[in-house]
Amino acid sequence: MSLKLGDTFPNYKFQTTQGEFNFHDWLGDSWAILFSHPADYTPVCTTELGAVAKQAEDFKKLGVKLIGYSIDTVSSHEGWIKDIEHYNGLACGKFPYPIIAGSRKQAADLGMLDPDEVDKAGLPVTARCVFVLKDKKLKLSLLYPATTGRNIAELLRVVKSLQLTMEKKVATPANWQPGDKCMVIPSIKDDEAKKLFPKGFETAKLPSEKAYIRLTPDPSS
Ligand code: BEZ
């Protein structure tokens, strides 16, 4: 089973660095990001988990709960967190989010294994997956191989886009940042768009003469 957009994330009982969680209870109806890494005590992962920790307050401001995941034990995670804190200049003993000690079966079920990266036993490790959830449902996923670290600013950016586009009938264009113009979604007719977007919208003139690119100021700013 690979998770598709709109699917409910399975309700696992997870062992984590902050205790045992019933995942659905922990999620509630909140926004959340579950992100996996290949293995503890590896270099890129040490930078990624530190970078997420540094921006944990920014995620909190957006109402996003964070949780890491790999197929390592809780005691391995606990030892490694000290390295993450030290290497990334974080306060010791205040690591801001839990890390799950997952299982290979769960990781396989969720399509998280990277066949090109194996552990010492020759078994595939988890890739760098990102599941953005709201109300326990998958809103966005990203899947990077073990060898490419993620951009944490991009995770914040996509959450801002998801939250805006859930509220307003807009979509966000390539490289959008909050405050940039948004696009009126194609299913909205011009008459309705005039009512929905009091700041107005402009329609791009195109060789096809089709009026499908309609830009409106960011309705949240
Ligand atoms: C890393 O985190 O540096 C890493 C982990 C597995 C494969 C390649 C890189």
Which pTM value belongs to this model? 0.96
Vertex 141 angle, CA 8 and 216, to 5°: 105
**Angstrom distances, CA of residue 112 to CA of 8, 18, 25, 98:** 16, 22, 22, 19
Q: In terms of domains, do 128 and 183 share one?
A: no
CA of 15 to the centre of ligand 1 (A): 23
Q: In terms of domains, do 95 and 40 share one?
A: yes
Q: In terms of domains, do 187 and 127 share one?
A: no
CB 136 within 8 A of CB 144: no
CATH number at residue 200: 3.30.1020.10
The confidence score (pLDDT) of residue 131 equals 98
Boundary residue ending a domain (120, 150, 180): 150
- Give 133-174 pLDDT, tens digit per residue: 999 999 999 999 999 999 999 999 999 999 999 999 999 999
- Mean pLDDT throughout 21-49? 97
- Give 89-134 pLDDT, tens digit per residue: 999 999 999 999 999 999 999 999 988 889 889 999 999 999 999 9
Range of the domain at 189: 168-216
- Residue 59, pLDDT > 60, answer yes
The answer to whether residue 190 is catalytic is: no
Tell me if 38 CB under 6 Å of ligand 1. yes
- Residue 205, pLDDT > 60, answer yes
Q: In terms of domains, do 145 and 176 share one?
A: no
CA of 207 to the centre of ligand 1 (A): 47
CATH number at residue 37: 3.40.30.10
The answer to whether residue 40 is catalytic is: no
User: Which residue has the CA at smallest separation from atom 1 of ligand 1?
Assistant: 44
Pairing of the two strands 182-184 and 64-70: unpaired
User: Which residue has the CA at smallest separation from atom 7 of ligand 1?
Assistant: 146
Q: In terms of domains, do 144 and 172 share one?
A: no
What is the strand order of the sheet 128-134 is part of?
19-22, 13-16, 99-101, 64-70, 31-36, 128-134, 137-144
Name the residue with tokens 């690591």: 95
98 inside domain: yes
| Amino acid identity at 159 | V
Question: How many domains in the chain?
Answer: 2
Q: Could you tell me the pLDDT band of residue 58, with boundaries at 50, 70 and 90?
A: very high
Q: Which two tokens stand for residue 87?
A: 């290497």
- Give 173-197 pLDDT, tens digit per residue: 999 999 999 999 999 999 999 999 9
Average pLDDT, the chain: 96
72 inside domain: yes
Boundary residue ending a domain (150, 176, 193): 150
